[in-house]
Amino acid sequence: MFINRIVSVYLRFFFFGFAIWMVAFYFLFSTPITAVTPQDLPPLKAYPLPETLAQWQDPRNSGDYFDEIEVQDVGYLIWSHFPIKVYVESSDNDESRSRQWVKTVVDAIWEWNIYLPLQVVDNPEVADIKIFKKRPPLTPGKLRARSAETRYQLDRDENGILSHNFVIWLSPMQVGKYLPAAARHEFGHALGIWGHSPEKTDVMYYSQVAEPPPISSRDVNTLKKIYLQTTRIGSKFPFSSDN
Ligand SMILES: [Zn+2]
pLDDT tens profile 106-160: 999 999 999 999 999 999 999 999 999 999 998 888 777 789 999 999 999 999 9
Whole-number pLDDT of residue 50? 96
* Ligand 1 midpoint to CA 192 (Å): 11
Using alpha carbons, select from 68, 90, 81, 50 the residue that is nearest to residue 170. Answer: 90
State the amino acid at position 160 in one-letter form: G
Whole-number pLDDT of residue 123? 97
Beta bridge partners of 215: none
User: Can you tell me the mean pLDDT for 33-58?
Assistant: 85
Burial bucket for residue 53 (CB in 10 Å: 0-12, 13-18, 19+):
middle
* Ligand 1 midpoint to CA 185 (Å): 6
Domain spans of the chain, in order of start: 1-30, 38-231
Whole-number pLDDT of residue 148? 96
Whole-number pLDDT of residue 139? 81
The CATH class of the 38-231 domain is alpha beta
Predicted complex: ipTM over 0.85: yes
Whole-number pLDDT of residue 220? 98
* Ligand 1 midpoint to CA 201 (Å): 14
* Ligand 1 midpoint to CA 196 (Å): 6
Whole-number pLDDT of residue 31? 42
Whole-number pLDDT of residue 16? 54
* Ligand 1 midpoint to CA 204 (Å): 6
Whole-number pLDDT of residue 12? 63
**208: Cβ–Cβ under 8 A, 6 or more apart, which residues?**
147, 178, 181, 182
Strand pairing class (162-170; 148-156): antiparallel
Using alpha carbons, select from 83, 77, 66 the residue that is nearest to residue 219. Answer: 66
* Ligand 1 midpoint to CA 155 (Å): 23
Summary mean pLDDT of the chain = 88
Using alpha carbons, select from 208, 241, 243, 203 the residue that is nearest to residue 222. Answer: 203
CA 79 to the chain's CA centroid: 13
* Ligand 1 midpoint to CA 200 (Å): 13
Q: How far apart are CA 92 and CA 179, in angstroms?
A: 15
* Ligand 1 midpoint to CA 186 (Å): 6
* Ligand 1 midpoint to CA 239 (Å): 36
State the amino acid at position 238 in one-letter form: P
Whole-number pLDDT of residue 92? 84
Strand pairing class (162-170; 45-46): unpaired
Whole-number pLDDT of residue 243? 44
Whole-number pLDDT of residue 37? 64
User: Can you tell me the mean pLDDT for 202-210?
Assistant: 96
